[in-house]
């Protein structure tokens, strides 16, 4: 592991990154929230189906 080279690449990455604007943050939050709701709904649907299927 070449520590100086790794540190240089980490610093380059930090310099390239930027803080998202409020609009970007809100859009990312909405997309993530919708994804969580979809995954939760699918899980709840599967749970409901499994609950009513006799063993």
pLDDT in tens, 43-55: 999 999 999 987 7
| Burial class of 38 by CB neighbour count within 10 A (0 to 12, 13 to 18, 19+) | exposed
Q: Note the pLDDT of residue 50.
A: 94
Q: Does residue 4 lie in a domain region?
A: no
When divided into structural domains, the chain yields a total of 1
Domain that holds residue 53: 26-55
Q: Does residue 48 lie in a domain region?
A: yes
| pLDDT at 2 > cutoff 80 | no
Residue 36 CA to residue 46 CA, distance in Å, equals 15
């Amino acid at each position: 592991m070449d520590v100086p080279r790794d540190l240089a690449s980490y610093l380059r990455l930090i310099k390239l990154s930027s803080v998202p604007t409020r609009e970007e943050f809100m859009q990312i939050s909405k997309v993530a929230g919708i994804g969580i709701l979809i995954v939760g709904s699918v899980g709840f649907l599967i749970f409901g189906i499994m609950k009513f299927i006799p063993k």
